[in-house]
């Protein structure tokens, strides 16, 4: 029975890591939910949440690298996507301007905050990839953002797995909390942008 449970847990962990890798390009993938589910499945295994967190951080960083490379090389699929979605293209342009105009520390904070905004990671990677500046100086910020987000989402799932006796309630509360935090961050970002424009 334990062997079957271990196999099931390893599959959900692998699925969560693949989802985190892919959601830079496809932000509709519920990677956060899958990571929380993987945490709940492995919370009782010594060291499993830590290993999962490291795997999620690496996958998040590699996803950024992949999208950056596609954007730098002018992948046709990205050009078509930007052409079909003027709002996304406008967001990419705004982020490019902000990265150039803001001080070094503020730009670094922007990269980290983008991880917590729905589709923010995608917009940020596209902006950096299409920027004339070389993206290497953004990679250490991306690595920091990946570590921060991985620690946040894994800790959220782990805490709720210990606070509630039932897995479904832990999952529901964790996902609701993650959604609420993302929504709050997105509102703050929008409000700051409106104030800056005014």
Asked if pLDDT for residue 4 goes beyond 60, the answer is: no
Tell me what pLDDT residue 3 has.
Answer: 40
Domain hosting residue 161, numbered range? 2-197
Mention every residue, 6+ apart, whose C-beta is less than 8 A from residue 76: none
Number of domains present in the structure of the chain? 1
Tell me what pLDDT residue 55 has.
Answer: 94
Q: Which helix (H) or strand (E) holds 176?
A: helix 167-197
Separation CA 95–CA 92 (nearest Å): 5
CB atoms within 10 A of CB 172: 13
Tell me what pLDDT residue 140 has.
Answer: 86
What are 113-125's pLDDT values in tens digits? 888 887 888 888 8
Asked if pLDDT for residue 193 goes beyond 80, the answer is: no
Confidence band (pLDDT; 50, 70, 90) for 164? Answer: confident
Residue written as tokens 């990265």?
99
> Where is pLDDT greater, at 98 or 71?
71
Asked if pLDDT for residue 156 goes beyond 70, the answer is: yes
For the ranges 28-37, 57-66, 101-110, 132-141, the maximum mean pLDDT occurs at: 57-66
Confidence band (pLDDT; 50, 70, 90) for 147? Answer: very high
Q: For all residues of the chain together, what is the average pLDDT?
A: 79
Q: Any idea what DSSP says for residue 166?
A: S
Token pair recorded at residue 153: 């989402």
Residue written as tokens 């709720």?
160
**Least confidently predicted of 84-88, 141-145, 171-175, 190-194:** 190-194
Q: Is residue 170 a contact partner of residue 163, using CB atoms and an 8 Å limit? A: yes
**Dihedral sign (CA 171, 176, 185, 121):** positive
SS (H, E, C) 20-57: HHHCCCCCCCCHHHHHHHHHHHHCCCCCHHHHHHHHHH
């Amino acid at each position: 029975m334990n062997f079957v449970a271990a196999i099931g847990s390893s599959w959900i962990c692998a699925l969560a890591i693949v989802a985190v890798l892919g959601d830079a390009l496809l932000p509709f993938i519920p990677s956060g939910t899958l990571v929380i589910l993987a945490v709940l499945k492995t919370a009782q295994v010594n060291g499993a949440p830590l290993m999962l967190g490291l795997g999620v951080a690496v996958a998040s960083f590699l996803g950024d690298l992949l999208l950056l490379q596609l954007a730098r090389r002018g992948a046709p699929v990205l050009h078509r996507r930007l052409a079909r979605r003027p709002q996304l293209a406008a967001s990419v342009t705004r982020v490019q301007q902000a990265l150039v105009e803001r001080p070094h520390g503020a730009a670094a904070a922007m990269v980290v905050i983008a991880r917590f905004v729905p589709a923010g990671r995608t917009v940020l990677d596209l902006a950096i990839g299409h920027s004339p500046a070389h993206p290497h100086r953004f990679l250490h910020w991306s690595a920091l953002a990946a570590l921060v987000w991985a620690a946040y989402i894994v800790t959220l799932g782990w805490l709720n797995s210990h606070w509630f006796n039932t897995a479904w309630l832990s999952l529901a509360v964790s996902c609701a909390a993650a959604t609420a935090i993302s929504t709050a961050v997105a509102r703050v970002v929008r409000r700051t942008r409106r104030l800056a424009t005014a």
